Amino acid sequence: MFYPTLRAILTALLGVPVALALALLLPGSWQAGLAWSGAVLLLFLLDALLAARPSRAAVALDLPEALAIGRKHALGIAVRFPGRVPAEAELLLDVDGRLVCEPRRQAIVPDGDLAETQFFLNPLRRGAGHIEQLWLRWRGPLGLAYVQRVQELAHKVAILPPIPAVKEEAARLFQRDRRGGSHLDLDIRQGSEFHALRDWQPGHNRRSIDWKQSARHRKLLAREFQAENDLHVWFALDTGRLMCDPLAGMPRIDRALQSALLMAYVGLRLGDNVGLYAFGDKPVLNSGLLTGTNAFATLQRLASDLDYSTGETNFTLGLTELGGKLKRASIVVVFTEFADTTSAELMLENVGRLLKRHTVLFVAFRDEEVEAMLHQPPDSLDDVSRTMLADAMQTDRDKVLMQLRRQGAHVVDAPYDQIGMRLIETYMKLKRQERP
């Protein structure tokens, strides 16, 4: 398609005062004004014909399949103009509200018959983003006509939690452990899974002596154990209204996913089976058990598909269905949020049912805003009211966490930026101690 430029419009409008002046001064020559506008129209059509054809412009894009929050992605675009090459052209990339394109519009100058540029995509919210359309336009040689081409892309992009940060943190964890002389993937000093027999030495634990094998070989032999592999680890994520509230500028569910993926990456590296389960007012995701580091890409994709919700969480339906699907004793990592002791009653009841067969890690994000209110000196009655409210919220939170510990749950209570490492520490202790 083509349409007039600002130059063409202003030049055509210039014929109006000319026609009026001729009508007043030379009434018989007023048609000359119309001839001016007609001449501009003909020049506009001629310019459109002389310009490069939209159908012949070849556009090449390297569209991403997935983007991670917190990192910009460079989107390269190359446009080739066979035949007549325009002096300059413009590109505009249309994306949906989950993405920001920087810059949105960009002028390009062809070098020969090829023009190359790049846009930067900045993902804002986890989910499915869309790159909708690419607009390409250029001017004719006379500068009177724009020739425009609209290319429908309709490309879906998975917007993930900060996955590169997850992998980098996990890599640092493994590297640090190796530098310290031990390995996360094998610890034969502690654990519950039999590894080998060795000669007993003074200073070893006497309870490790295998008396039957010692009698057979006529020397003292001790059993070595290693951290158990092939555990079943499930991440149960609450996607209800409270988990969608922001925590330090990011929804709690996104913070939870980041920590869950970090622990899942470590678990897959250590040979365990990992599953992702999500529920709000009803169950919304069940990945099944996955194994092997290649399964991490599947977890990323499933995490990006989890949407935000405004509904209340149904703990009875969500946790009961999860418990019914677990065929063997598992480690269940629960990410949720509660407002007070009353709203936490159903959550406590259903977590208690899980604890009868499984090991539960309950993750509690500390609310830094509430803690700041507790330590801020009140200067007015409003400050006093806020402090009293924050104190009541903190007291209710402590009561619920204490009840969970009494029931036998392992509570991970830390600021959001420390949850991931605290989770891994607790998980490694469980692997070294006993089967869940």
Percent of residues, the chain, with pLDDT higher than 90: 22
Q: What is the pLDDT of residue 203?
A: 62
Q: Which amino acid is at 172?
A: R
Angstrom distance (rounded) from CA 348 to CA 409 = 10
The radius of gyration of the chain's CA atoms, rounded to the nearest angstrom, is: 33
Q: Which amino acid is at 105?
A: R
Q: Across-strand partners of 105?
A: 92
Reduced to 3 states (helix: H, G, I; strand: E, B; else coil), residue 254 is helix
Per-residue pLDDT, averaged over 382-402, amounts to: 83
Query: What is the CA 23 to chain-centroid distance, rounded?
Result: 68
Note the pLDDT tens digit of each residue in 288-300.
999 988 898 888 8
How, if at all, do strands 127-139 and 359-365 pair? unpaired
Note the pLDDT tens digit of each residue in 214-247.
788 777 777 765 555 678 999 999 999 999 888 8
Reduced to 3 states (helix: H, G, I; strand: E, B; else coil), residue 292 is coil
Q: How is residue 314 written in tokens? A: 């149904």
Q: What is the pLDDT of residue 22?
A: 66
Q: What is the pLDDT of residue 275?
A: 95
Note the pLDDT tens digit of each residue in 303-347.
888 888 888 899 999 999 999 999 888 999 999 998 778 878 989
Angstrom distance (rounded) from CA 198 to CA 180 = 24
Give yes or no for residue 208 having a pLDDT over 80.
no
Residue 114 contacts residue 80 (beta carbons within 8 Å): yes
Note the pLDDT tens digit of each residue in 138-197.
888 888 888 888 888 889 888 887 766 666 666 666 665 444 444 444 444 444 455 566
| Count of beta carbons in the 10 Å neighbourhood of residue 279 | 25
Q: What is the pLDDT of residue 361?
A: 95
Question: What secondary structure letter does DSSP report for 27?
Answer: G
Burial class of residue 160 in the structure, from the number of CB atoms within 10 Å of its CB (0-12 exposed, 13-18 middle, 19+ buried): buried
Give me the helices (H) in 251-295, please.
Answer: 252-269
Mean pLDDT of the chain: 81
